[in-house]
Amino acid sequence: MVNKNQNGFSLIELLIVFVVIGIVAALAIPGLLRSKRVAENENAYATLRSMVSTQLAYNSSNGRYARLDELNALQQQGLGTITPPNTLVRGKFTFIMNPTEPSDALLKDAYRITVTKTVGGDETPYTLDVDETGRIIEPFGSNHQ
């Protein structure tokens, strides 16, 4: 004799729950990864904005623009890690000056900082430029996502 008052879930009910969880995860994970990429890119953009304001302050005090190591020192090493030759690394992003080691005479009138993202897999390359005008430019072909 079979007891019809058994408690619990049937195998079919459990499989349906797992399938629904799988579908929800498949829909949510790409959006989460995209949001993470956008947040990383926005962090690089914010770092460049901070560099621009620090460059203006440095120029008014010293009569020339700062190198990356000088900018990082003014920000109490908060911009990233300096690696030779005068390159700043912050997370997946590398900030370089053009030229890499500008002279004081060149920095009297101008500077240019380029940030690039180290990409892997299916990520889209990301590049930003800023110069003494303070305009942050996203070169053609760079994707803000």
- Tell me the C-alpha distance between 37 and 89, whole Å: 17
Kindly state the tokens that stand for 87: 């390159």
pLDDT above 70 for 122: no
Radius of gyration of the chain (CA): 25
pLDDT value at residue 144:
47
Q: What is the DSSP letter of 125?
A: P
- Tell me the C-alpha distance between 103 and 41, whole Å: 30
pLDDT above 70 for 1: no
Contact 82, 69 (CB under 8 A): yes
- Tell me the C-alpha distance between 81 and 94, whole Å: 10
- Supply angle C-alpha 65, 140, 70, rounded to 5: 20
Domains in the chain: boundaries? 11-137
Q: Does the model's pTM come out above 0.75?
A: no
